[in-house]
A = this chain, B = another copy of it.
């Protein structure tokens, strides 16, 4: 099964319109077996660790077992922040120890190694090319965790950033992605409450209309649906919801289990 070949999945804030990804790929070509490189996402908003961490958690299962991840949102590059290799079954996740690897670290079978000080990246500013890619190539070529660095405990590492804070009758929840269509993706999982009377409040604007797909809204109307990440999204039909609500990735949104109007009607 070729679905069993080695793959490298890249998630970074390098931007597809820049050339950092291209250099990193050059280094990956040093692997001694054929690998397929997949650009998962390179336009994480610069420095937004929590968006990257969340997207990995929601999308890693789409990739076959031997898909290795290089994860680079790294505002602390060149400082003494640590870097990690997390092994989960047949695959590894590599990146800085700043929370971006939180999902992998939270898995029961996670084996964690700190990238050792014997790795001397050629630059202080581009560890994607000069540290993470060489470490992955070394792992692919030798399969020897001892070459990477010392085993450490999960508890010593930065966990997943908090993206939802429970409140009485609701929660504060992060906007974790805004897509090209302006759909506002949140970290709020669709759970077993009475959604008919629930609301999201963004910048003082209350959204209460619950739909199944875009076309259930009038053109330009704003509503909510369970989107492709399995979480609640605020969307508009053929319009840019994020612009209409003046919100951006990283903002907090208020979730009310029962909207005020619904309460009044009780």
Interface residues of A (CB under 8 A from B): 1-3, 5, 7, 9, 14-23, 25-27, 29-36, 38-41, 43, 46-47, 55, 59, 62-64, 67, 75-79, 123-126, 129-130, 177, 179-181, 212-216, 225-228, 230, 233, 238
Contact = CB atoms under 8 A, between A and B. Distances in A.
Contacts of A181: 46
A43 B20 contact: no
A22 B41 contact: yes
A59 B23 contact: yes
A3 to B, nearest CB: 5
Contact of A225 (B16, B124, B216): B124
A29 B7 contact: yes
A30 B15 CA distance: 27
Which applies to chain A's interface (DSSP): helix, strand, loop or mixed? loop
A75 B215 contact: yes
B59 A41 contact: no
3 closest cross-chain pairs (CB), A and B: A78-B213, A26-B62, A126-B228
A18 B129 contact: no
B125 A180 contact: no
| Copies of this chain | 3
B17 A76 contact: no
A125 B213 contact: yes
B180 A18 contact: yes
A215 B79 contact: yes
Contacts of A77: 213-215
Given A79-B213, A180-B17, A38 B23 contact: no
A243 to B, nearest CB: 13
Contact of A180 (B46, B124, B213): B46
B130 A27 contact: no
A125 B216 CA distance: 12
A140 B187 CA distance: 35
B40 A22 contact: yes
A104 to B, nearest CB: 16
Contacts of A180: 14-15, 17-18, 46
